[in-house]
Chain A
Amino acid sequence: MDLALQLLFTGIGIGAVYALVALGFVLIFRATNVVNFAQGEFSMVAAYLMVVAVEAGLPYWAAFIVALLGMALLGVVFNLGVYYPLRHRSYLPVIIATIGASILLANSVLAIYGPQPQVLEGWFETPGIQVGPVYLDSQYLLIIGVTICLVIFNFWFFEKTLLGKKLQATSQDKEMASLLGISVSTMIMITFIYSAVLGGLAGILVAPVLFVSIQMGSTIALKAFAATIIGGFGDVAGAIIGGLALGLIETFGAAYISVPYKDGFAFLVLIAFLIFRPQGIFGERVAEKA
């Protein structure tokens, strides 16, 4: 029972990371109708930026800001270099281009920084606190806290602000939005920047828990994508619930079933959902429109 409680905490912590990356997927998908296969590399690049900035002697908070600014810039470059030139083509070329970008990002970092995994210190001095039988790791607490704040922020931003509503209008009907005087290309640019920052934030938060490695991007992206399908593709709440569910499944699976195949559970759950409930828990559209 104690083990189960401990796993519950860890699972939610890891799940929160998947949820953040999944949110990035969903936001870009809603704005452009394209899945960005380089979303996971955003997390990886941000974690490396953070490592570099901390090693350069910046205080932790300053390194954090520098890394996120770097991600915003990457979002701009990514949109202009990968998505924008292909925006009028069908989804297949765009998918392939984002896959190319993902390979380019991961291996550029490898070429520059070498294959050794890096270690990033956590934000807090104290490693964690003991509450009854459960040990609450401070970094996981931070991850969960930030995720809750972001969920609230997202809700406020998309429902209550004018910019958020413009973004929503763009994602629902580009032609109508542009007729109403909304600059669609600006809205898409903002979406890419926001998604890059969101993915980066997830990478920086999870870096002290995992190692900072070249592979962390693709591993996180795969699971975040599975999370979006489990939650219901294209659905913001679904991405968060799906992320948490996947974190729990994986943590319990590793503890009770098999450690080496831990990364395989996401795939099995994904296949099961695709076969039995492709619309996910929240049941948004799945197939391309008729």
Chain B
Amino acid sequence: MSAPSDNMPIPAPIIRSKPLVVRHLPYFIGAAILVVLAANMNFDGYVHNILLQATTFAIAVFGLSVVLGLCGQINLAQAAFFGLGAYAVGIGTTDLQVSFWLCLVGGCVISLLAGALLGMSTLRLGGHYLAMVTISFQQIVTLVMINAIWLTHGPDGVSNIKRPDLFQTSQSYLAFCVAMLAIVGYMVWHLSDTKLGRAMRAVRDNELAAGVNGIDVFRTKIYAFALCALLGGLAGGLFAGGFAYVSPDQFSFAESIVFLTMSLLGGVGSPVGSVIGTGLLILIPEWLRFLKSVPGLYLAIYGLFVILIIRFMPDGIWGFVADALTRWRAKIKAPPAVAALQLKPATIGGDIVLEVTGLSKHFGGLKAVDGVDIAVKRGGVHALIGPNGSGKTTTLNVLSGLYVATSGRIVLDGTDITHMPPHQRTASGLGRTFQNIRLFRSMTALENVEIGAERPGNTMVGKGDDALTERAMEALTFVGLGSRANELISSFSYGHQRLIEIARALASNPTLLLLDEPAAGLNSTEKLELHELLKRIAAQGLTILIIDHDMTLVSEAAQHITVLNFGRRIADGESMAVLRHPDVVSAYLGSE
């Protein structure tokens, strides 16, 4: 099995073009061997039970590797979702006499819906809320399992749960569960390289940057959370069929903590870690059975483990191993050369790409931006300048949707974007960079730029992963970093990180590029390079709105300047004329 880790270099595009199924053939052969083994080995009852428990638990822990590992959101109710699936199969196949398959699917749907609803109520808020709300949900589910005796049989639990006719023997049922584990594991492993998986990782690394790169942050989080709940429900259904008996104490908050510990111990970032963690934490307690004679001791050690893992091994056992493997392997290969980047900004509206009228942003009594008009002409470089505190960055944040405008109207290429959230503005053709660089820090330069290229509505990218990689490579090569595409963000200098951010915006082929103080923190050589880059971008006809303090850069690069002071527009027009305007001079130098 190859290593699905964040730290791994992306295979070069040439290797990529082989069909996935062929590349991953060894995985499927290995999985098939395991399934055949499980079906034919004659385990005694004790070993069989441990294997069945490990297999079903691992599927539930896969869920945590999606929500916590990929998307960075917490779920302390995985045992509740597991329980929903288990009770669906339990009650369904006994009291209701419904077929196992229908119950299994039903349990998955119930878990999925519960997860989606819970997510929708909480995921807009910070992570603390999610932690507490999932604990509350866990406790409600336990309360219902114990008290709704008419439905759940209360503390006695449900017994004589049926299995499907196809897998009546315990051998064949185990083989079936191992096959499910292999299939789900493959999907989770592959998820991180899909569009959704990249979006999840982007949200985990930097929500704000994910939003302005066209990712619907809220929806991505809900998908991750619902997917986690779905896997919990599936695992629970398989568990119920395997053990033929369920009771409320099997799905308590303590079990949710056990799932969390399994995920953290093995490595939250990858399904391989989930399997390792689950296997270890099911086997270790069996070896240390004597611990169970003292109530509480066993869970106390779990708690201690959680603290120690977080402190000393944040990426878990597999994270540690994968990291060592990466370092041990040969130097990162440089990707092959690609064609030159093409920028073809959309042209729907008229001569004016961005028309801002009467824009205001008030924070309580403070009028940070007060009735500002800006008209950015197509194909030019337009600068927005002003002294500190004049409202430049606030204006940019209102334009990209991070702040909601108090009043006024923003029209981008004929579309009114005033009331859109950031990701929809990006879809409409807005690209931006940040003054304080916001890259996805656990990813490579190439992966960062790929997320930009994946902008909804980007017409410059063909179908498929290869086209995406190609576009991202073109953008990186355009800013001069193509040869280092597969390196992690942390290995780049500050100036180069800024260039990667610009490449990320360029790959999305925006209609208008907003640059927030791109020269800040750069040395004089880097500033010259930046100036050259801006010229090359403008030469392809992309419209740029730039904010900067560097007057040399602004006066040389921009044909048109708007000046703000105290949130109001004090001058607007052709560059040289504006810079000589008496109000502008007095705003910068003070009046006599």
Q: Which A residues are closer than 8 A to B by beta carbons?
A: 29, 34-35, 37, 81-82, 85-86, 89, 91-93, 95-97, 99-111, 114-115, 214, 218, 222, 225-226, 229, 260-261, 263-264, 266-267, 270-271, 274-275, 278, 286-288, 290
C-alpha gap A110/B292 in the complex (Å): 12
Question: Cβ of A107 and Cβ of B131 under 8 Å apart?
Answer: no
How far is B76's CA from A288's CA once the two chains are assembled, in angstroms? Answer: 20
Contact between B126 and A267, CB atoms less than 8 A apart? no
Interface residues of B in 115-161 (CB under 8 A from A): 121-122, 124-129, 131-133, 135-137, 139-140, 143, 147
Partner of B121, one of A110, A261, A264, A275: A275
Q: Given A96-B260, A97-B310, A99-B76, are A91 and B300 also a contact pair (CB < 8 Å)?
A: no
A-chain residues with CB within 8 Å of residue B76 when the two chains form the complex: 99
Q: Decide if B133 touches A271 in the complex (CB within 8 Å).
A: yes
- Which residues of chain B in 266-321 are interfacial with respect to chain A, using CB atoms and an 8 Å cutoff? 294-300, 302-307, 310-311, 314
Q: Are B296 and A97 in contact (CB under 8 A)?
A: no
Measured CB to CB, the closest approach of chain B to A98, in angstroms, equals 9
Counted as pairs of residues, one from A and one from B, with CB atoms less than 8 Å apart, the total is 139
- Chain B residues near A111: list those with CB within 8 A: 294-297, 300
* Pair B126/A97 contact, Cβ less than 8 Å: no
Query: Which 8 pairs of residues, A with B, have the shortest CB-CB distance?
Result: A100-B306, A110-B296, A104-B303, A103-B303, A107-B300, A111-B296, A107-B296, A267-B136
Q: A91-B127, A100-B306, A115-B296 are in contact. List 4 more A-B contacts (CB 8 A).
A: A103-B300, A106-B296, A111-B296, A225-B132
- Contact yes or no, B140 A264, CB < 8 A: yes
CB of A104 within 8 A of CB of B307, answer yes
Q: What are the residues of chain A within 8 A of B297 when measuring CB–CB?
A: 107, 111
Which of these, B132, B140, B302, B402, contacts A103 with CB under 8 Å?
A: B302
With the chains together, A226 CA to B125 CA distance in Å? 14
B571 within 8 A of A: no
Q: Chain A's nearest CB lies how many Å from the CB of B270? A: 17
Contacts of B299 in A (CB 8 A): 103, 106-107, 110
Which one of B74, B132, B305 has the greatest number of beta carbons of chain A within 10 Å? B132
**Residues of chain A contacted by B397 (CB below 8 angstroms):** 290
B257 within 8 A of A: yes
Contact among B133, B143, B257, B307 for A260, CB-based, below 8 A: B143
Interface of A is mostly: helix
B131: A residues at CB distance < 8 A = 35, 37, 95, 99
Q: If the complex has contacts A97-B311, A99-B76, A271-B121, are A107 and B303 also in contact, measured as CB distance less than 8 A? A: yes
Contact of B208 with A by CB under 8 A: yes
**Given known A109-B296, A271-B133, contact A100–B143 (CB-CB < 8 A):** no
| Residue B232 is within 8 A (CB to CB) of chain A in the complex | no
Select B307's contact among A100, A108, A218, beta carbons within 8 Å: A100
**Residue of B129, B294, B314 touching A93 (CB-CB under 8 A):** B314
Q: Determine how close the nearest CB of chain A comes to the CB of B288; give it in whole angstroms.
A: 14
Chain B, 73-123, CB within 8 A of any chain A CB = 74, 76, 121-122
With known contacts A107-B300, A270-B133, A264–B295 Cβ distance under 8 A: no
Complex-state Cα separation, A109 to B306, whole angstroms: 18
Min C-beta distance of B193 to chain A, whole Å: 23
Q: Contacts A92-B72, A96-B264, A275-B121 given; indicate if A229 touches B253 (C-beta within 8 A).
A: no
Question: Is A222 touching B306 in the complex (CB atoms < 8 A)?
Answer: no
Q: How far is the CA of A192 from the CA of B360 in the complex (A)?
A: 43
Interchain CA distance A99-B77 in the complex, whole Å: 13
Collect the chain A residues with CB atoms within 8 Å of residue B300's CB: 103-104, 107-108, 110-111
Kindly list chain A residues whose C-beta atoms are within 8 Å of the C-beta of B402: 290
CB distance from B218 to the nearest CB of A (A): 11
Would B304 and A226 count as touching, CB distance under 8 A?
no
| Secondary structure type dominating chain B contacts | helix
Given A108-B296, A270-B133, A263 contacting B139 (CB threshold 8 A): yes
User: Which among A85, A92, A110, A263 has the highest number of chain B CB atoms within 10 Å?
Assistant: A92
Residue of B125, B264, B403 near A274 (CB, 8 A) is B125
A229 touches B307 (CB 8 A): no
Choice from B128, B132, B264, B295 contacting A91 with Cβ under 8 Å: B128
B125→A99 contact, CB < 8 A: no
Among B127, B294, B295, B300, find the residue whose CB has the most chain A CB atoms closer than 10 A.
Answer: B300
A264 CA to B152 CA, complexed, in Å: 18
B91 to chain A, nearest CB (A): 20
Contact of A92 among B127, B135, B304 (CB under 8 A): B127
User: Contact at B264–A267, with CB atoms within 8 Å?
Assistant: no
Can you give 16 A-B contacts (C-beta < 8 A)? A29-B128, A34-B128, A37-B132, A92-B74, A97-B307, A97-B310, A100-B310, A103-B299, A104-B306, A107-B303, A110-B295, A115-B295, A264-B139, A270-B136, A271-B133, A274-B129
Instruction: Determine whether the beta carbon of A290 is less than 8 Å from that of B208.
Output: yes
Task: Report yes or no: B125 in contact with A86, Cβ–Cβ below 8 A.
Answer: no
Task: Give chain A nearest CB distance to B141 CB in angstroms.
Answer: 10
Query: Quick check: A101 and B127 within 8 Å, CB to CB?
Result: no
In the assembled complex, the Cα of A85 lies from the Cα of B296 at a distance in Å of 26
* Nearest CB on A from B293, distance (A): 10
If A100-B307, A101-B307 touch, whether A35 touches B296 (CB-CB below 8 Å) is no
Q: Which of B298, B303, B310 contacts A102 (CB 8 A)?
A: B303
Q: For A263, list chain B residues within 8 Å (CB).
A: 139, 143
Q: Which single residue of chain B is at the shortest CB-CB distance from A110?
A: B296
Considering the chains assembled together, what is the distance between the CA atoms of A31 and B296 in angstroms? 32
Which residue on chain B has the smallest CB distance to residue A93? B310
For the complex, what is the distance from the CA of A288 to the CA of B72, rounded to whole Å? 14
Give A115 to B295 CA distance when docked, in angstroms.
8
Considering the chains assembled together, what is the distance between the CA atoms of A37 and B303 in angstroms? 12
Query: Taking A101-B303, A274-B129 as contacts, is the C-beta distance between A85 and B121 under 8 angstroms?
Result: no
Closest to B211 in A: A290
Report B-chain residues with C-beta under 8 Å of the C-beta of A108. 296, 300
Select one of B74, B253, B294 contacting A96, CB under 8 A. Answer: B74
Complex CA gap A101/B308 in Å reads 10
Contact of A278 among B124, B132, B310 (CB under 8 A): B124
What is the bound-complex CA distance between A106 and B252, given in angstroms? 15
A273 CB → nearest B CB, Å = 10
Among B302-348, those with CB < 8 Å from A are 302-307, 310-311, 314
Structural contact, A222 and B314, CB atoms closer than 8 A: no
In the complex, what's the smallest C-beta–C-beta distance from A86 to chain B, in angstroms? 7
| A106–B136 CA distance with the chains assembled, in angstroms | 18
**Which of A86, A109, A260, A266 is B310 in contact with, Cβ under 8 Å?**
A86
Q: Which of A82, A107, A263, A264: most chain B CB closer than 10 A?
A: A107
Give Cα A229 to B128, complex, Å: 11
Residues of chain B with a CB closer than 8 A to A34's CB: 128
| Cα(A82)–Cα(B302), bound, Å | 15
Given A81-B307, A260-B147, A266-B136, do A95 and B264 touch, yes or no (CB 8 Å)?
Answer: no
Return chain A residues, CB-CB under 8 Å to B294: 111
CA distance A225 to B126 in the complex (A): 14
CB-defined contacts of B72 to chain A, threshold 8 Å:
92
CB distance from A225 to the nearest CB of B (A): 5
A217–B257 Cα gap in the complex (Å)?
A: 16
Please name all residues of chain A whose beta carbon is closer than 8 Å to the beta carbon of B127 when the two chains form the complex.
Answer: 91-92, 95
